């Protein structure tokens, strides 16, 4: 369970550009819940994800993960619980490392990186099997550099990598927004399958109304740093495309 309690965050405090994005913000994300977050630009979606990831530290309030307070834990230490998928399909992988090496690093996300060679045959077979399930034909290219793949392929692998170690929370920041429509549809479907199969707790920021209709258990709409709408279960299922456009217009 993920809890945000009384979170406030102001950027450029005390200057002419002062911008209070969140004020006494509260949110609880239940285990194994796939939450979608929508909202117009500046509504606080990215700030919310960055607060959870730890790249932004709140001015006040608490962030709890399974009742453990992680509010002041640095980003690279939060990786113990949290995996991230970025909007830029290239930023989740290291281009000059091979596919196998990228997976090795992802598979020890929650561990220390020691003086030990972990890319052995057993590990390779394991990853080959995993990648084969994607059906992208990449399972025989494990030693190829990540940089030689397309954005869509890399994003698909990034999503798979996020699940190769214990993940309590998966953060997705518009994971397919930078891909062409056809690839975006394929990769989003794939992401959903991976999230469902591993029973992940996931939070995804999206601008795609179609994805909102199709995926997730819960829909949260942010407006000016506040929760404007919060729908789950059958309420979420009932949402129509027109409702969404209306809410954005309000």
Partner 1 sequence: MSFYLSAVILGLGFASLAMGIFISMRIFNIPDITTDGSFTLGGVVAAVLISGGHSPLVALPIAFLAGAIAGALTGIIHTRLKVNALLAGILVMTALYSINLALMGRSNLPLINSPSIFNSLFIPGTEVQQQFIVLIIIISIILVTLVWLMKTDFGLAMRATGNNEKMIRALGVNTDVMKIFGLALANGLTAVSGYLITQVQGFADINMGIGIVIIGLGSVMIGQILFSFKRKETIMIQLLGVIVGSILFRMILAFALSIGIDAIYLKLVVAVFVLAVVSIPNIKSKA
Q: Which one, of 170, 237, 249, 179, lies nearest residue 208 by Cα?
A: 179
> Is 116 a residue that touches partner 1 (CB under 8 A)?
yes
Q: Give CA 48 to chain center in angstroms.
A: 11
Binding segment toward partner 1, per CB under 8 A, in 43-51, 75-83, 186-194, 218-226: 75-83
Positions in 45-74 near partner 1 (CB under 8 A): 53, 74
Binding segment toward partner 1, per CB under 8 A, in 7-15, 39-47, 98-106, 173-181: 98-106
Number of Cβ within 10 Å of residue 245's Cβ equals 10
> Is 122 a residue that touches partner 1 (CB under 8 A)?
no
> Is 109 a residue that touches partner 1 (CB under 8 A)?
yes
Residue nearer to partner 1 on the CB measure, 43 or 164: 164
- x/- contact string, 76-95, with partner 1 (CB under 8 A)? xx-xx--xx-x----xxxxx
Residue nearer to partner 1 on the CB measure, 50 or 224: 50
Contacts with partner 1 by CB under 8 A: the residue count is: 34
**For 192-210, b where at least 16 C-beta lie within 10 A, e where not — what string?**
bebbeeeebbbbbbbebee
Residue nearer to partner 1 on the CB measure, 92 or 175: 92
Q: How far is the CB of 213 from partner 1 (least distance, A)?
A: 29
d(CA 244, CA 214): 13
Residue nearer to partner 1 on the CB measure, 25 or 81: 81
Q: How far is the CB of 188 from partner 1 (least distance, A)?
A: 20
Q: Which one, of 145, 121, 120, 142, lies nearest residue 132 by Cα?
A: 142
> Is 177 a residue that touches partner 1 (CB under 8 A)?
no
Strands 169-173 and 82-85: parallel
Q: How far is the CB of 179 from partner 1 (least distance, A)?
A: 18
Please give the structure tokens belonging to residue 40.
Answer: 């117009």
Please give the structure tokens belonging to residue 122.
Answer: 């057993």
> Is 185 a residue that touches partner 1 (CB under 8 A)?
no
DSSP 93-158: S-TTSBHHHHHHHHHTTTS---S-----HHHHHHHHHHHHTTTSS-TT-TTSBGGGS-HHHHHHHH
Chain contacts with partner 1 (rule: CB under 8 A): 53, 74-77, 79-80, 83-84, 86, 91-97, 101, 104-106, 108-111, 113-119, 143, 145
């Amino acid at each position: 369970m993920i809890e945000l309690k009384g979170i406030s965050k102001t950027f450029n405090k005390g200057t002419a550009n002062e911008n209070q994005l969140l004020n006494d913000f509260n949110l609880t994300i239940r285990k194994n819940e796939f939450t979608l977050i929508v909202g117009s630009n500046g509504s606080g979606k990215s700030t919310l994800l960055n607060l959870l990831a730890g790249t932004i530290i709140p001015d006040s309030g608490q962030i709890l993960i399974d009742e453990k307070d992680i509010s002041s834990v640095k980003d690279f230490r939060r990786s113990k619980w949290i995996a991230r998928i970025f909007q830029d399909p290239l930023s989740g992988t290291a281009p000059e490392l091979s596919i196998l090496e990228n997976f090795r690093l992802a598979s020890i996300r929650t561990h220390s990186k020691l003086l030990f060679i972990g890319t052995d045959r057993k590990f390779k077979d394991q990853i080959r099997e995993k990648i084969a399930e994607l059906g992208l034909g990449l399972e025989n290219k494990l030693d190829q550099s990540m940089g030689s793949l397309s954005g869509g392929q890399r994003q698909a692998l990034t999503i798979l990598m996020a699940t190769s170690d214990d993940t309590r929370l998966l953060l997705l920041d518009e994971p397919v927004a930078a891909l062409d429509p056809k690839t975006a549809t394929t990769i989003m479907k794939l992401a959903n399958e991976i999230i469902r199969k591993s029973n992940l707790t996931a939070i995804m920021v999206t601008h795609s109304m179609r994805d909102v209709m199709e995926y997730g258990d819960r829909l949260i709409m942010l407006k000016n740093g506040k929760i404007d709408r919060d729908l789950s279960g059958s309420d979420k299922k009932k949402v129509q495309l027109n409702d969404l456009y209306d809410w954005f217009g309000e």
